[in-house]
Chain A
Amino acid sequence: MPLLRKLRSNALLLCFSFFGIWVIWMSYQLDVSPGVRLGYNLAFYPRLLGWAILVISSIILLEQFFKSGGKDSERIQRPQILTRRALIKRIAGSTLLVTLYIILIPIVGYLLLTPIFLLAFIRFLGNKNWAMASLVSILVTGVIYVLFWILLYIPLPEGILIPRII
């Protein structure tokens, strides 16, 4: 189906068009007193940008839809190395691990959760060496902790399960 293919290969342009419309609509919801001078109108500038996004993305979209045959220059770049299934598995698995880490870290804390997360991530990406993966996970967690928390005083999530160690 050429139409479906074109829609798919221009999905992001379509999203940007809707985003432009949404920004224009949102700009009308902003709190602007009637008759306010243009410089003080906080909605005018984002509205202009919304229009810019809508107009440019619509022009490209129209061009793409009316382009007859030939090469479809806007086609999505497909990965060359992995199979589709392996790719989905890798990205979905990584996303799941990262999501779990973000959900759990405020509860478990950086020091306890990070080595487990790193080990799981490294193993998930195909590493077979348990010992090296464990060593890297612990070392990296420690180095980042020392660098951020101790040397630069940048806080990391402490968690509520165990108190701060150092």
Chain B
Amino acid sequence: MDHTLSFSMIIQGFQTMFGPYQFMSTAFGVVVGLIVGVLPGLGGLVAMIILVPFTVNLDPAAGLACLIGVFVAGCYGGAITAITLGIPGAPVAAATLLDGYPMSKAGKTPQAIGLALVSSTLGGMFSAVVLIFGAPLLASIALRFGPPEFFALGILGLSTISSIARESTRKGLISAAFGLLIATVGTDVFTGNLRFTFGNPELFGGIPFVATLMGIFAGSEILIQLERWEAIPVSVERLRAKPPSLKSMAKNAKTYIKSSVIGTLIGTVPGTGGVIASFISYGEARRSSKHPEAFGKGAEEGVIASETANNAMVGGALVPTLALGIPGDAASALLIGALMLHGISPGPRLFEAHPDLVSAVFVGFFIANLVMLGIGLLMCPLFTLILRIKKDYLIPVIFLLCFAGTYGFRNSMFDVILLCLFGLIGYGMRKFGFPLPPLVIGQVLGPMIEESFRRSLLMSGGSPVIFISHPIADLIWFLAILFLAFPYLQKMSSIFSGSQKDRS
């Protein structure tokens, strides 16, 4: 296989994605991502979850482009709330708030929104280019992998939970094991026997991903929102975006480039996510600024650094997601799940089996960023109205969308019951401090982990030595252990540096 997508494939991708059907799907995804991203507490992930059942009926390229559009726009949508209300619409916008909100208070709301929009677009487009060249290269290396390597890769994917579940890695492990167990329900692929189905034909094909996903995230979110009935202060001012001038962009070119690189690189490390990317980028911009004292008081560089990095992270995150089939967070796991619902397995073979789809998705990501720029500018006045939508309208509508999406997926009321059940489970897990993304990552990675685990044991005649007797697998194991141990190493290093300070 060629290590990069050929020029003709990229051109073909552009032709596909500029088809009316695909382009409209991308634009629809961007609009939904912006609307839901703006609503505090919901964020792009909820929008992606609600849209999954819609995309199943679209062709795979259009469906994925729609979800990627939501992913991209959801990241930017959170910035609008952060700038105007001082509440990050999504966690990734937390760093944007530090300078965006002071800018808004100083009467520069249109400038701050424009800056966030342009920064997000540029960061996303930079990472799209990296994705086009980086993902096929990584996939070509991964083509040499056998079952032991894939098993190690699956564990590497799970090890990212130590970064996701910062508060309790062990609770994250329980959550992931629960997700892996959910994936075992149904017909065993090796023997054809049934497992944990209790004679229910609705479970023979396994627990549907849509019901789990909707229940765990959207269902639990509804219950949480019912609890937190706080009033959101609404900006009376009519919102508009004023993009920065070319001169101002040239002045801040260094920050744009540096933040794009930081965001993309951090995105490629599974489990890191946009929050880390935006804060590291913000910190670096402040460190290297000529006016670090202006940060936190409405510095343009602060908004640029945060927004460029959190959207550049998306392209970076898609590299391991598509090339290796390893999701770094819940949104990437959802993209993998959506691919699987279309009967397509992500991972290195995707690039051989569906090069047209891969090129269309890559180009779709690039286009989604451009579309976001246009729609973001046009839709800005509408955000004032969206911010005024009351929760008493929002909650029933979200429930109805979840209901319709889950029911429509298999035309089954049983799935709706599963949705409610997983909603309660998700709610309980959130209340008791169990992170939810590991559960979804576990369910998505479950089939690959079990299959490669059992295939490896078949190859070795039952000896577990096979898992550590392959050099590439060893390297992946090393990385997995490093990821798992990272929070503990961080803790040890802070204790050590604390004791050093005490001595001095």
A interface with B by C-beta (< 8 Å): 10-13, 16, 19, 23, 26, 30-31, 37-40, 42, 44-46, 49-50, 52-53, 56-57, 59-60, 74, 76-77, 79-82, 87, 90-91, 94, 98, 101-102, 105-106, 110, 114, 117-118, 121-122, 125-127, 133, 136, 140-141, 144, 147-148, 152-157
| A-B pairs with beta carbons under 8 Å apart, 17 shown | A45-B184, A45-B454, A49-B184, A52-B177, A53-B174, A53-B177, A56-B173, A59-B170, A79-B227, A81-B227, A90-B229, A102-B417, A122-B392, A140-B400, A144-B404, A154-B409, A157-B407
Q: Which residue on chain A has the smallest CB distance to residue B401?
A: A144
B393 near A127: Cβ-Cβ < 8 Å: yes
- The smallest C-beta distance from A34 to any residue of chain B, in angstroms, reads 14
Number of B residues with CB within 8 Å of any CB on chain A: 62
A148 near B404: Cβ-Cβ < 8 Å: yes
Interface 1/0 per residue, B402-434 and A, CB below 8 Å = 011001110101001100100000001101111
- The stretch from B137-145, B190-198, B354-362 touching chain A is B190-198
Interface membership of B455, Cβ < 8 A: yes
A118 near B396: Cβ-Cβ < 8 Å: yes
Question: Which residues from B are CB-within-8-Å of A133?
Answer: 393
Dominant secondary structure at the A interface: helix
A148 near B408: Cβ-Cβ < 8 Å: yes
B interface with A by C-beta (< 8 Å): 53-54, 57-58, 168, 170-171, 173-174, 177-178, 180-181, 184, 188, 190-191, 193, 195-196, 222-223, 226-230, 390-393, 395-397, 399-401, 403-404, 407-409, 411, 413, 416-417, 420, 428-429, 431-434, 450, 453-458, 461-462
- The smallest C-beta distance from B448 to any residue of chain A, in angstroms, reads 12
A39 near B462: Cβ-Cβ < 8 Å: yes
A155 near B193: Cβ-Cβ < 8 Å: no
Question: Which residues from B are CB-within-8-Å of A156?
Answer: 404, 407-408
Query: With the chains together, A45 CA to B184 CA distance in Å?
Result: 9
Given the known inter-chain contacts A26-B196, A39-B458, A46-B184, please indicate yes or no for A76 contacting B190, CB distance below 8 A: no
Q: Which of A38, A101, A105 contacts B457 (CB 8 A)?
A: A38
- The smallest C-beta distance from A58 to any residue of chain B, in angstroms, reads 11
- The smallest C-beta distance from B135 to any residue of chain A, in angstroms, reads 30
Question: Which residues from A are CB-within-8-Å of B420?
Answer: 98, 102
Question: Which residues from A are CB-within-8-Å of B230?
Answer: 81
B173 near A144: Cβ-Cβ < 8 Å: no
Given the known inter-chain contacts A39-B455, A53-B177, please indicate yes or no for A118 contacting B400, CB distance below 8 A: yes
Question: Which residues from B are CB-within-8-Å of A74?
Answer: 432-433
- The smallest C-beta distance from A99 to any residue of chain B, in angstroms, reads 8
Query: With the chains together, A122 CA to B180 CA distance in Å?
Result: 37
Q: Which of A60, A76, A79, A122 contacts B171 (CB 8 A)?
A: A60
Q: Which of A16, A126, A157 contacts B392 (CB 8 A)?
A: A126
Q: Which of A44, A94, A118, A154 contacts B226 (CB 8 A)?
A: A94
Given the known inter-chain contacts A31-B193, A155-B411, please indicate yes or no for A45 contacting B174, CB distance below 8 A: no
A42 near B191: Cβ-Cβ < 8 Å: yes
A40 near B458: Cβ-Cβ < 8 Å: yes
Q: Which residue on chain A has the smallest CB distance to residue B56?
A: A154
Question: Which residues from A are CB-within-8-Å of B170?
Answer: 56, 59-60
Question: Which residues from A are CB-within-8-Å of B193?
Answer: 30-31, 42
